Chains A and B, each alone.
Chain A
């Protein structure tokens, strides 16, 4: 069974510019993600990739089409699809510990069990030393680690990530990508990542879904030959990067036509 199945998804928004008109954000998007597979959704900004993620998370309702998570139809948000946000969305009034524990508290886990789980995930993301800090005392990279741990703690069927490393500087981004690979080696997860970085998609994914621009459709689905083992600047790496770059470059900017 697929961990996540998206069928003929379509989303219309009321237009912000012209009253009464509607904007087609995504059209006829279908994709399947297998268990423990890492799937990246790649496209220009404004191609509806975040809309797609919000639909999967249940934050928004599709105009038509259906989404299945582990065989169950999605209607509304749930802990089986926890999300890592670009702006971290950590609760500023909670310490690192309590942020990570949030999903467990909601579920009503006993404090002994909670303690054990939270400590395990804090260690997994390398934050054991900072468990009593507040988010505002942490750097961007550390905040994103908290956010990842917080999302993993509820043991989601699919982990959703919305451009999680886009707000970080280049060094931190590379570091966090390596960390993500390490974390997934220890804690197998099905992941759907939205990104506009070709390199990030190649480094992390089993499958890359390249989207078209406005309305967002699936342009091509590419399998990475050696997932998470691709070495930069080797011929296979360059080949796949060129392939994706050409696909995306074909989607030239037509933002005047908005």
Chain B
């Protein structure tokens, strides 16, 4: 039974394995020497990854990237109280909304030139770019979540004696939480992309720096390892948040769908 299950599961990997084999084959036997430097075979990438892990270099870059993402997230979480205030009070929303509508469509990457002039190359500039990536998805989702709280829940709280503050802390905040978490997930994803872009041009460490640095010495295997790491970490970050949120909010239909 168990074996049958594993077989069924592994059936999903067939195409992936075939593609990897074709890649391995063509890189080794079809491409000539210079071309295969540009596209090393999967086995070569694996060896490169092993080297990077053994030398400890990749861990340092991963750690730097993750800590940048983390700090930027801490700054960007200011979007949650701002979003709640904007969702609850029309007058605030009226004033702040135009500002956000203007700033929001500017991709974080477009801020890179200006931010380098402002902050120079380094962590502050990186944090700033990632912050922009994380901030807006959280803000917009928080506003939306607060506006869409079931009106009867607010009424129920009011007729059980809750005042405005009680309604905000006991109802709106809780009811909006699943969608705020969704905002955080999207934000961290966008932030992670912005992070790599920021590190490509404005950092001396991190995964973005790693792949750009490898380019200058033509280590395509390191580039691919770096790209893979960026993808895997982005995915695990998302999964980890979703998993935690599901555990903390088993009642949410949106999260457990």
Closest to B153 in A: A89
Closest to B152 in A: A89
Query: Do A83 and B166 touch (CB < 8 A)?
Result: no
0/1 string, A87-110, CB within 8 A of B gives 1:
101111100000000110111000
Q: Which residues of A contact B162 (CB under 8 A)?
A: 102, 106
Query: Do A106 and B170 touch (CB < 8 A)?
Result: yes
Q: Which residues of A contact B156 (CB under 8 A)?
A: 83, 85, 89-91, 150
Given contacts A106-B162, A106-B170, contact A57 B155 (CB under 8 A): yes
Size class of B's contact patch? 20 to 34
Contact among B152, B161, B249 for A107, CB-based, below 8 A: B161
Query: Do B152 and A106 touch (CB < 8 A)?
Result: no
0/1 string, A51-62, CB within 8 A of B gives 1:
000000111000
Q: Which residues of B contact A87 (CB under 8 A)?
A: 152
Q: Which residues of B contact A105 (CB under 8 A)?
A: 170
Given contacts A59-B155, A134-B250, A136-B251, contact A89 B160 (CB under 8 A): no
Majority-rule SS of B interface residues: helix
Interface check A225, CB cutoff 8 A: no
A-B contact pairs, 15 of them (CB 8 A): A58-B159, A77-B155, A79-B159, A79-B161, A82-B159, A83-B156, A85-B152, A91-B157, A92-B175, A92-B251, A92-B253, A93-B177, A103-B160, A106-B166, A154-B161
Given contacts A57-B155, A77-B155, A89-B155, contact A82 B160 (CB under 8 A): yes
Interface check A5, CB cutoff 8 A: no
0/1 string, B215-253, CB within 8 A of A gives 1:
000000000000000000000000000000000011111
Q: Which residues of A contact B155 (CB under 8 A)?
A: 57, 59, 77, 83, 85, 89
Query: Do B252 and A106 touch (CB < 8 A)?
Result: no
Given contacts A83-B156, A85-B156, A106-B166, contact A91 B174 (CB under 8 A): yes
- Closest CB in chain A relative to B12 CB, distance in Å: 31
- Closest CB in chain A relative to B247 CB, distance in Å: 13
Given contacts A89-B152, A91-B174, A106-B166, contact A59 B158 (CB under 8 A): yes
Closest to B177 in A: A93
- Closest CB in chain A relative to B158 CB, distance in Å: 4
Residues of chain A from 126 to 181 with CB closer than 8 A to chain B in the complex: 134-136, 150-151, 154, 160
Interface check A236, CB cutoff 8 A: no
Q: Which residues of B contact A78 (CB under 8 A)?
A: 159, 161
Query: Do A93 and B175 touch (CB < 8 A)?
Result: yes
Query: Do B159 and A77 touch (CB < 8 A)?
Result: yes
0/1 string, A25-50, CB within 8 A of B gives 1:
00000000000000000000000000
Given contacts A134-B250, A135-B251, contact A93 B159 (CB under 8 A): no
Interface check B57, CB cutoff 8 A: no
Interface check B145, CB cutoff 8 A: no
Query: Do A106 and B160 touch (CB < 8 A)?
Result: yes
Closest to A108 in B: B161
Interface check A217, CB cutoff 8 A: no
Query: Do B159 and A92 touch (CB < 8 A)?
Result: no
Interface check A81, CB cutoff 8 A: yes
7 tightest Cβ-Cβ pairs between the two chains A and B: A79-B161, A103-B160, A77-B158, A89-B152, A89-B156, A92-B251, A106-B161
Q: A90-B156, A134-B250 are in contact. List 5 more A-B contacts (CB 8 A).
A: A59-B159, A83-B156, A91-B175, A106-B161, A150-B160
* Residue from A59, A107, A134 whose CB has the most chain B CB atoms within 10 Å: A59
Query: Do B160 and A136 touch (CB < 8 A)?
Result: no
A65 to B113, CA, bound (A): 65
* Residue from A59, A85, A89, A134 whose CB has the most chain B CB atoms within 10 Å: A89
A90 to B162, CA, bound (A): 15
- Closest CB in chain A relative to B172 CB, distance in Å: 11
